[in-house]
Structure 1
Amino acid sequence: MTSITCNSKSIGIRLKQYFNEAKPFLMYCSFSFLFSFDPSEPFLVDYFTNVLGIDPEIVYQDIFPYWTYSYFAFLFIFGILGEFIGYKTIIIIGMVSKILTIAVLLTTNKLVYLILEQVTDGLSYAAYIVFLAYIYFSLDPNEYQKMSCRVNAGYLVGVVSSGLLGQLLVQKLPLVSLLSISCGTNILALILALTFTNHKSQQKFSIKETFTDLINTYKNTDILRWYIWSGIAISIHQIVLTYWQSLFLQINNDQNWNGYISASAYFFASFFAIIPSKLGNSINNIQNLVLVVFGLLGGALLMVMGFGLNLVISTFSLIIYNCCFEFMSPIVNVQIAKKLSSRIGLLFSFNIMIALTIQVLVQLTVGKQFLNLDIKSQFLYYGGCLFVLSFGFSVLFGFLFLKKKFFTKSNSVNDQTINYISINQDDDQEQQQQRENIDDDNLQDEIYLYKDSRSIERDERKPLILNQNEIHNKV
């Protein structure tokens, strides 16, 4: 009985320990999954145009841009607020906002409210960036890379499963039903967020210290390369996710396949998102190569989509492009987080703000204000941006490699010269020591000879002294 009791206690302890270790994984991945589970997302343009009766031109020019503006503004606001009120509170605000977004879509078709809906949706996604920083604070930094990849995989699985579900239901149910399902999953995500532990930055917020942290961060060349890459790549990726439905509509004029396309893109990307967690620190050895290769590949795929040869080729290009980005995303986040010592949430948010600034500039450039490009030409432009980025990194890394090689070679020559000089100095010192030893030996010999001569002299004088004593005694 005693052994059975001990075994049951040990099993209970092991199960409790296992649950404590698995609890963060289950909570964070489940939240990420529920946040991204939106069966209506692939058919959002269809909902605006066919259900709400909004002109497609108004959707792209007057409604969708407010998502970017809202996302940009609230990233900065939440990055600062997280330092004061904690990241959990920001996450809860974001989920409430996401529920309000769907509520607006379900109740009105007025333009001002649809713009407000984009504002609240951008707010919720800004809060999700704070959630990624929250993960860093709640775990050991060494576990962040694995958890970041797993959470990203959970997000992608949510997109895939919701896309497939939406594709299956869209033929049988109205789009309003898909929005209702999305609202239900968001409510579950809100309930889960309420169970999170609140984490705040250990440092008190100071504008001067924050500005100093930002300056020091951008002085670090290791972080700077990742910031530049993520700033441009994220901005291009956000634009692609916003406008790929419009591009495919021009290619095929049919949105019945959007659910399958979205699900496929994120299904395969979910496998690529896990790969960095398996590579570990070995990714540091090829990080420069990864930045260049994936930038070139992504640019080429966007250009293929821009040519718009047919729906199949464009679909495969979108899938491969999304796999490349989701592979790079956790790598970039981890490399940046490793170099940061404080204010993770604020600096993460500031990085995304830079990306959004670039996104706004790119959208203004291709829009009717400047180049006025059609949707296909825009994708060619986006691919060209990634090509220019990769070419710039290639030149930079090539220069750094040659500089390092030349510096190493010059150091080797200097080391050889120093060794030659030191060897000669050692030889001179050895010869000097030998001369000093010889002089010491000669001096010792002279001393010994002198002592011997004095000894002989004393021996010769001794008999004389004895004879004088004898004479004295006799007298």
Structure 2
Amino acid sequence: MQLQPFDMSERWLFPTVLLCIYGFFTNLRPSEPFLTAFLMGPDKNLTETEVVNEIYPLWTYSYLVLLFPVFLATDYLCYKPVLIVQAISFIVTYAMLLKARGVLAMQIMECFFGLATATEVAYYSYIYSVVEPAQYQRVTGFCRSVTLLGLAVGSLVGQLLVSLAQVRLLHLSTITLVSVCLAFVTPWCLPMPSKSLFFHQTEDDDPGEEAESVNHLNGKDLAAGPEDPGCKVPLNSSHPVLLRCPPKVPRTRERRRNGLIEVLKILWLDFKQCYSCWTLLAWSVWWALSTCGYFQVVNYVQALWEKVLPSQEVEIYNGYVETISTLLGALAAFVVGFVKVSWADWGELALCVFSVVIAVAVYVMDTVRNIWVCYTSYVVFRATYMLLITIATYQIAANLSMKRYALVFGVNTFVALLLQTILTVIVVDSAGLGLDIFPQFMIYASYFAAIAVIFLAAGLYKVVMRRRAYSQAQTEHGETETESESARGESPLSDE
């Protein structure tokens, strides 16, 4: 297969390049692998309890509170203003990390970082409003790849500066601030979209055509598998009630504007139809449950490493670990796209097996108090999760139009954050149990083990029901053949 040459005249290229530059520099954060060490070091002089139990939980709370309002605001404001808000939030976050001191200041910093994280929806949805559906797969691959590249390069640069140049952690925060300031320039140059998914629609928009085109990309290029037969109405169809505005909403010649009530009705109808599909529901449940646990482990793993081997005593290698885990996760996500597996049949059991792997990795991190074992377990944990979340993305996206794609992934993330908030309040927050880092990770390992049990039960149930249906079909087939033979045969009385 030959790659198509880039044509500078193509309209999709300019915004895609700008968005990739923005994504790279916002994720180029050399200070991230050393954040806990920096906060607990001489520059900030915070205790483990203050960092883990009082400061970090504020990111979870702010992210949850802001996610849905930002989702609606992103669509209403047509993405670009929200991208600018995200860039400003990153600047405020790292400026406060660099200059501010004290628990309250760091809590406010976490709230701004929660805003920056919540507005990521604008980054991943902007491009769909300015390019044609035929380019969705290509630009999605570019945007997602460049964010992973930025994370990997940032972690590697941070580690090299610490290990080889003996750069202070404070200076890594300065470099991160410079990086997000460079990113701030990019959104201003992006073209302003003339439409959005829900609030702003032009008269020329044909939702059915778009859904068909997107389904062709998602269903055939991203996932090899039939549409779920359990769905009564195909989720990739252009159902007039779900994809078009209600008839009472007037159209102008150039643009129609959906009100908030109409948008919420459309979202609710889409929500009910999407989650009535068993396969999509199963993968979404795993998505929400596992993402909750993933966020918890990634947020607090540096505190675990700091407890196992304090950075004030020896040199740490957090940057190398983050780089390797990111690249291996990206490689696993790439390779799985070429693996031919009937996920519709074996998906639940596969999720069970890999959830066991994740649970064991977290358990080993918690019980084996060796930094190299902790590093290795973390790499296994993160690569396994990224592999599974890619499979889940493929399976969910295979039968969804772009509108439902944004809705389902947004709902899954919201549920994950809701569960994470509950877990944080009970386990981490000083207002709850306020547990030490080692008991926390034992709970996280048990949490993933519980996920494995749930999907083991679901997988076994599916196998049993499949065999029962097969046996019943065989029995009915045998009875049909017997009746057919009897109908063709002659009665014994006729011979006499």
Which category of TM-score, normalised to the shorter sequence, fits these structures? 0.7 to 0.9
Output one character per residue of 1:386-436: Cα deviation in whole Å (capped at 9) or x when no partner.
1111111111111111112211221222133234334544668xxxxxxxx
1:110-149 equivalent positions in 2, closer than 5 A: 110-134=102-126, 148=140
Contact 1:79–1:347 at 8 Å: present in 2 too?
A: no
> Cα offset for 1:324?
0.7
Q: Residue type of the partner of 2:176?
A: S
Q: Residue type of the partner of 1:355?
A: A
Output one character per residue of 1:222-278: Cα deviation in whole Å (capped at 9) or x when no partner.
111112111111111111111111111111122632222222322322322322343
> Cα offset for 1:185?
2.3
Question: Would you tell me which structure has more helix in proportion to its own residues?
Answer: 1
Question: How far apart in 2 are the matches of 1:426 and 1:190?
Answer: 82
Q: Give 1:383's match in structure 2, choosing from 419, 422, 445.
A: 445
Q: Residue type of the partner of 2:427?
A: V
Question: How far apart in 2 are the matches of 1:114 and 1:135?
Answer: 33
Q: Give 1:393's match in structure 2, choosing from 442, 455, 462.
A: 455
1:13-412 equivalent positions in 2, closer than 5 A: 15-16=6-7, 26-49=17-40, 50-134=42-126, 148=140, 151-170=143-162, 171-194=165-188, 195=190, 198=193, 200-202=196-198, 204=258, 205-254=262-311, 256-279=316-339, 286-341=346-401, 342-367=403-428, 372-412=434-474
Q: Which moved more, 1:133-142 or 1:341-350?
A: 133-142
Question: How far apart in 2 are the matches of 1:415 and 1:82?
Answer: 56
Question: How far apart in 2 are the matches of 1:409 and 1:30?
Answer: 57
> Cα offset for 1:338?
3.1
Contact 1:366–1:373 at 8 Å: present in 2 too?
A: yes
Structure 2 residue matching 1:407: 3-state secondary structure? helix
Q: Number of residues paired by the alignment?
A: 418
> Cα offset for 1:149?
5.5
Contact 1:153–1:271 at 8 Å: present in 2 too?
A: no
Structure 1 portions without partners, runs of 5+: 1-12, 429-475
Identity score, percent:
23
Contact 1:134–1:345 at 8 Å: present in 2 too?
A: no
> Cα offset for 1:376?
1.6
> Cα offset for 1:15?
5.0
Q: Residue type of the partner of 1:417?
A: E
Q: Residue type of the partner of 1:307?
A: T
Question: How far apart in 2 are the matches of 1:105 and 1:382?
Answer: 28
The 3 A distance-change label for structure 1 pair 285 and 221 is closer
Contact 1:145–1:277 at 8 Å: present in 2 too?
A: no
The 3 A distance-change label for structure 1 pair 66 and 38 is same
Question: How far apart in 2 are the matches of 1:128 and 1:187?
Answer: 17
Q: TM-score if structure 1 supplies the norm length?
A: 0.78
Structure 2 portions without partners, runs of 5+: 199-244, 246-257, 491-496
Question: How far apart in 2 are the matches of 1:284 and 1:15?
Answer: 37
Question: How far apart in 1 are the matches of 2:449 and 2:7?
Answer: 51
Question: How far apart in 1 are the matches of 2:488 and 2:83?
Answer: 69
What is the alpha-carbon root mean square deviation over aligned residues? Answer: 3.1
Question: How far apart in 1 are the matches of 2:345 and 2:126?
Answer: 28
Question: How far apart in 2 are the matches of 1:424 and 1:312?
Answer: 74
Contact 1:304–1:314 at 8 Å: present in 2 too?
A: yes
Question: How far apart in 1 are the matches of 2:71 and 2:478?
Answer: 53
Structure 2 residue matching 1:52: 3-state secondary structure? coil
Question: How far apart in 1 are the matches of 2:30 and 2:81?
Answer: 27
